[in-house]
Structures are given as structure tokens and as C-alpha cells.
Amino acid sequence: MKTKVHAIAGVIGFLSILSFWTSTLFSEIFGTPEMIAFVKNMILWGMFVLIPAMAIAGASGMSMGAKRTDAPAAVAKKKRMPIIAANGLLILLPSAVFLESRAAAGIFDTWFYAIQVLELVAGAANLTMMGLNIRDGLKMTGRVESAPVRQAVGSNVPVIDARDNGPLVAKNVPALIDSDQQILQAKPVMALCRCGASKNKPYCDGSHNRVDFDSRRASERTRDDVKIYDGEHITVHYNRLICSHAGECSQRLKPVFDADRRPWIEPDNASPEDIIAVIDACPSGALRYSLPGEKPQHAASGSSSITVEKDGPYRVAGIQLSSARLAKGANPDMFVLCRCGASKNKPYCDGTHHDINWREEDR
């Protein structure tokens, strides 16, 4: 609801200033003094629409973007909002009052035209900044494509774009697989739900707006840190931030990977070949290995696909995530993305769907 109010108020404000600006320019170039006076009077009355619209847009925008530092578009919008407000209150409103009084009295002197030029420049500046805010807002809701995704379309490179407060937009993905290993329809462009509320899962139906989905990582999220577990013949590297806690490692090789033990990884309890096989099966890319004298390496990502886990996340292989900051040591082509909307480490899954007993049929 807040997103819709913000959008409607912003568009009303933008269109109001645009109508003021164009009518002023037209009347000054082609109009009579009477037409100019009429336009100035209408602009002054229009302030009763513009000011509330701008106040609502600004307040709702700052509320939705509070403490948001992980989305460049949101940060840019927050920087523009105070400038737009100051420009309106300190320049546009006083100019409208001054010009209306001058035009009503038939005084079109140097002061009138000097303030008129100032008003036009300030109006153009606000139109530009508000237009950029509208563009960034559309990007954040998934209605406008980001540059990396547009480039991917032209090159046919598979890519996923995690939209701020919106869906995962997947392009050029050759295979979308459900939990029964059935191939779903993979369109050239797909919006996949990640708020957990869509009634058409795995596809997005716009429910992220209805539930006010927040794509920010939680302040209490897991620390982005790589822990190293040394063994005589192999070393295991692990970043808990991107681990989806699927349990593949402990199920396959518990002598090495045991979450109930400290340290939970003991590389000397199995052969390097067995450990590498387990790391190859890790869906999140949270595990890497290194052999003596070699650099850490990831498991092979395999063919490009997105697998929809039953009542769980998206398992992604062979596809890059264009719009999220990679965690330390992360595999850029293999990861697990949250689908329930409750992960503290968005866009990555942190296993919260297990904790809240999330079921895709519940919503």
C-alpha cells in the first residue's frame, strides 16, 4: 500500500510541475498579459495540490528507504528528495506567490522576468530529479530493466537480477526445473517470486507490493566471513553467509561435516577425493577446497539452470547474479536464493524457510 501511495503522489507532483512549467513557457512566449496573469493565478492555486503530493511522496519515500544502504537506486533517491523539497519550498513556492502578485497588478518589469527565469530553472531541475526518481522507482519494482540485464538480452548470457523490494528477473535461462525434476516453461524473461506471497509460484504476480516486501538484508544477518579448516592433504573454506543449510554435506560425509561438533569441519577424517565430491554437491557455493600449494577453488557449476526446491529456495547453477554484492569467496555461478521472503541474508537463502515451516501452498 505504501509503495502505491508513494508512486501516485510522486506522479501527481511530477505532472503538476510539468504542467506549471509548460504553461508558463507557452504563455510567456505566445500569450497576452491577461493570459500570463491567468496562468500565474492557476499555478498558485495548483500549489494546494503540489505541496501535499510532494509531502506525501517525500515522507513515504524516506520511510520506505529508512536505513537502506544496500540498494544504489534507493540511496540515490534519498539524496535527491531533500534537494527537491528545498527547491520547492525555497524557490518555487515563493516565486509563484511573487509572480502571481506582479502579474495580477500588470507589472512585468525586470524583477518579474528575473524571478520568472529563476522559477523555470528551478522547475526544470525538479523535473529532472523527479524523473530520475521515477525511473529508479520503476527499476526497483522490476518494471524497468537494469543495464546488466539489458546487456544480457543482447548477448544471450543467462543472468538474474534481484530487484529491490521486488522479484528475481531471470533472462536467457535455458532450464527452469521444479522439485519433481519436471521442466517448467522457461520464458526469455521471467519474474520469479521471492517474497513468498505470490499465488502463481514460482512466478511473480505483484504480491510483493501487497505485502510490502523488504529485500534488505537484516541487521542481524550472518557475518560475511570465510573460515578455513586446515587438513594435512586438503583445506576446506566455508562462508556461512551464503550457506543455505541444506545439509547436503553432513548427509553425504558426516565424519568430516558435523554441525553438532566443534570444529564442525574435520578435513582429515576422509580422503580429499571424498571431500571434493561433497563440495561439488554443495548447492550454495559456500564451500571451497584447496590442495597443498594451490588456491581455493569452487565446485563446477554445471549447466545453466534454476531448480525450484519444494517448500524451499531456488538452486541456481551456471547463471550470474547481476545486481547483488557477492559474498567473500562466493561462487559467481552457483548459489541458492531465498524464495520464502524471510531470509536475513537476502538475496541468498539462509535456511529460514525451515525455521518458519514455510509452505508454498500456504499463500
Q: What angle do CA 12, 193, 310 make, to 5 degrees?
A: 165
Contact by Cβ (8 Å): 260, 312: no
Domain 2-140, classified CATH 1.20.120, yes or no: yes
The confidence score (pLDDT) of residue 142 equals 53
Quickly list DSSP for 314-332. EEEES-EESSSPPPTT--T
The confidence score (pLDDT) of residue 232 equals 95
Among residues 99, 309, 271, 325, which one has the least CA distance to residue 317? 309
The confidence score (pLDDT) of residue 324 equals 64
- Tell me whether strands 305-308 and 176-177 are parallel, antiparallel or unpaired: parallel
For residue 54, give the 3-state DSSP assignment. helix
The confidence score (pLDDT) of residue 165 equals 87
Contact by Cβ (8 Å): 228, 235: yes
Contact by Cβ (8 Å): 216, 250: no
CB atoms within 10 A of CB 134: 17
Distance CA 350, CA 352 (A): 6
Q: How far is CA 180 from the centre of its chain?
A: 30
Largest Cα–Cα separation, the chain = 93
Of the CA atoms within 13 Å of residue 283, those in its CB half-sphere come to 22
Distance CA 213, CA 192 (A): 14
Residues of the chain where predicted confidence (pLDDT) is lower than 50: 70, 148-149, 152-153
Give the DSSP H/E element, type plus range, for residue 74. Answer: helix 72-87
Domain positions in the chain? 2-140, 149-363
223 torsion bin: left (phi>0), alpha (psi -120 to 50), beta (else): beta
Provide the edge-to-edge strand list for the sheet that holds 168-171.
Answer: 189-192, 168-171, 159-162, 320-321
- Tens digits of residue pLDDT in 25-73: 999 999 999 999 999 999 999 999 999 999 998 888 777 766 555 456 7
- In the numeric block, which cell numbers belong to residue 256? 568430516
- In the numeric block, which cell numbers belong to residue 52? 501535499
Q: What is the pTM of this model?
A: 0.62
Among residues 177, 173, 168, which one has the least CA distance to residue 158? 173
- In the numeric block, which cell numbers belong to residue 45? 492555486
> Which residues, 6 or more positions from 34, have their beta carbon under 8 angstroms from its beta carbon?
none
Contact by Cβ (8 Å): 290, 275: no
The confidence score (pLDDT) of residue 3 equals 72
- Tens digits of residue pLDDT in 107-164: 999 999 999 999 999 999 999 999 998 888 776 655 555 554 455 445 588 999 998 8
Q: Euclidean distance between the first and final Cα of the chain, in Å?
A: 18
The confidence score (pLDDT) of residue 253 equals 96
Amino acid identity of residue 200, one-letter, is N
